[in-house]
Structure 1
Amino acid sequence: MLPFIQTAYLFALGSMIGWVLEFFYRKFFDPVNVERKWLNPGFLTGPYLPLYGFALLLLFWLRQIEQFIPIDDNYTRKAVLFVIMAACITALEYFTGLIFIVKLKIMLWDYTQFWGNIKGIICPMYSFFWLLLSLGYCLFLDPPITRTVDMLINNLQFTFFVGLYYGVFLIDLAISLNNMVNIAEFAREHNIIVKIDELRAQIVSFREKTLGRAHFFVPLRFSDTLHNSLERYREFREKLSVGNIRENIKGNIRENIDKIKRK
């Protein structure tokens, strides 16, 4: 088991790397972001995604088990390792998403539009991305990260920067969790699942209309903005539900008309 400071460093590094990856992915590749806006990908204010912090810890620990995989061929053994890594991160993603949905009625990400998704939390496409991430980690990141982790043992002054990071992170986390509790209470009151990406869009829209601008780094912070945006979000979900019902009715009518014509 890694010493505490090294574990803290890996978590911080993974959280920031993951935020950067998601930041550019959502801008240029995310099919949901059709307007190609720059979006803060996390529910926290700052540039870190805790899920990726835990993912990097998993990758670092799993990298050590390669020698215990009972396969002689080097390439096959590495391929099996990559699959194990991707499966473990997918499991982490699933249980994290499930806990937020069940306990807080909050959906941090939404894969419902992707084929083969399970509860909108995981899907084959993103599991494949985790596989590529595992491959990239082993080929490019593992050697320098391992050297840095070893270096921390002999350069404890570096702990100042790790401590500074966590000071800011914990303040941000406390504020964001307080907002999450407010969102969860709203979700239970109205018996809905709040999708963070949809709520963020309502907050941006509200701030643009009331203040003339939207702040990139504080999407969920201000209580008045959050309250008004939640009400707008509820109306948005109600309209969406009504729209879906209408589309289903129209679809059934068209289907019945086609059946009559065929007869």
Structure 2
Amino acid sequence: MYVYSWSQWLLFFFIYCFIGWIIESTYVSVRSLHFVNRGFLRLPMLPLYGSGAIIMLWLSLPVKGNLILVFLFGMAGASLLEYVTGYVMERLFKMKYWDYSNNPFNINGYVCLGTSIAWGFLTLLLTEVVHRPLEWLVLKLDSSVTIYLVIGISIVFTIDTVHSVKEALDLGRILESMTKLKAELEEVQVQMALLKAETTQKVSEFKTETLVKITNLKSETASVIKESALVERLQSLTETKEKLSGYLNFYRKGILRRNPTASSKLFGEALKELKEYSKKYKKS
């Protein structure tokens, strides 16, 4: 059982990536009441499901026939994969592409009890029902056909993965830049408020202390120059922030739309702003 060539294993991986995309997209679409092309990639594939299926098959080998152990092994293996994948992706891309923080019995938002139990049942469904006809179909294919299929899909899959990783890294840098810009904007606005208060006080003193008129006028001139510089800096920061929002092209917006539950601990406000921008883009 499960003794396959490298090309057959890869073909199973791609098949389960596609099946996982169908399951996830259907679930999210039903909850959202509109179609959602779920996932990290543009292709209709979810590598987490493909990897999870392969791990489930491997882990179920030693306990084949014992449904309870198959359930437990599949649940543990898939949950560990989900946790590690979520942890690495957040560190790399500055975002959680799925977040179970609001679910009960979750671990750092990467896994939760409900999903882990679902993984266990999926393992049973996979090993006892789904894999058998797929195994028959794949084993019926000529070895050369299998290799050509795997090579063709692998090329497209690799290209999409490279582009997806690059765009996700760009998105993470945009979130970081927008967060820094927001902090700098707030600092400039505080400086302008303080300068305005200081200028008002000096004008009042100017009216009552005519003996220091020349000194106050020089001070006023310096304040005006300083305020002008702050205004220019504020305008520059605002324009830069707008450019960063506009820098998102269709594909980057697609990443946000395909992952509606994505979150970011460090750049939460910037991510929220980009999601709103993505919604406006979709409507226009």
Report the TM-score range of the alignment, normalised by the length of the smaller protein: 0.5 to 0.7
- Superposed CA deviations along residues 33-92 of structure 1, whole A, max 9, x for unmatched, are 3xx12111102111000001101111221232125xxxxxx6xx2212211111110010
Q: Map 1:1-263; keep pairs closer than 5 Å.
A: 2-28=4-30, 30=31, 33=32, 36-67=33-64, 77-151=66-140, 154-189=142-177, 219-220=254-255, 234=270, 236=272
Shift of 1:167: 2.0
| Cα offsets for 1:174-224 (capped at 9, x unmatched) | 2111101102223444569xxxxxxxxxxxxxxxxx9xxxx8998149xxx
Q: Any idea what SS the aligned residue of 1:219 has?
A: helix
Q: Is the 8 A contact 1:19 1:48 kept in 2?
A: yes
Which residue is 1:195 aligned to? none
Which one-letter code corresponds to 2:126 in the other structure? Y
Q: Is the 8 A contact 1:45 1:217 kept in 2?
A: no
The code of the aligned residue for 2:272 comes to F
Specify every segment of 5 or more residues in structure 1 that has no aligned partner in the other structure, as ranges.
68-73, 193-209, 222-230, 239-263
SS at match of 2:105: coil
**CA distance in structure 2 between the partners assigned to 1:104 and 1:8 by the alignment:** 26
1:39–1:216 CA contact under 8 A, matched in 2: no
Deviation at 1:137, TM superposition (A): 0.8
Using structure 2 for the length normalisation, give the TM-score: 0.60
AA at the equivalent of 2:41: L
For 1:244, the equivalent position in structure 2 comes to: none
3-state SS in 1 of match to 2:119? helix
Q: Distance in 1 between matches of 2:252 and 2:21?
A: 13
CA shift at 1:111, angstroms? 1.1
Number of aligned positions between the proteins: 195
The structural deviation recorded for 1:116 is: 1.3
Asked which structure has the greater CA Rg, the reply is 2
Counterpart for residue 242 of structure 2: none
Cα–Cα, structure 1 residues 217 and 182, in superposed 2: closer, same or farther, change >3 Å? Answer: closer
As a proportion of its length, which structure holds more helix?
Answer: 2
- Superposition CA RMSD, Å: 3.2
Q: Which runs of 5+ in 2 are unaligned?
A: 181-245, 257-266, 275-284
User: 2 CA distance for matches of 1:19 and 1:66?
Assistant: 28
State the percentage of identical aligned residues: 24
